[in-house]
Amino acid sequence: MTRVGSYEAKTKLSEPLKRASRGERIVVTKHGVPIAELVPVAKTERVPPKEAITALKSFRKGHHLNGMSIRQLIDKGRM
């Protein structure tokens, strides 16, 4: 784990971000005390758009907000 001072992290942010994107964990310190950590974002599985749309359409069937369907809420907002 690499340590970077807060001033250096602020002035050269792109470098620690590049390193974190490659999988490295970067600890940001202030006066030698750890205050934050830059970590890579966990990889997520990408859902194909058609599959996501199908899932959303099936989810909205039967779901109501405050007793109204989504269509009724949309129509009410247009009045």
| Helix/strand/coil (H/E/C) assignment for every residue in 17-55 | HHHHHCCCCEEEEECCEEEEEECCCCCCCCCCHHHHHHH
- CA dist., res. 23 & res. 42, Å (int): 10
pLDDT per residue as tens digits for the range 11-60: 999 999 999 999 999 999 999 999 999 999 888 888 899 999 999 888 87
Give the pLDDT confidence score for residue 51 in this predicted structure.
Answer: 94
pTM (predicted TM-score) = 0.54
Give the pLDDT confidence score for residue 60 in this predicted structure.
Answer: 78
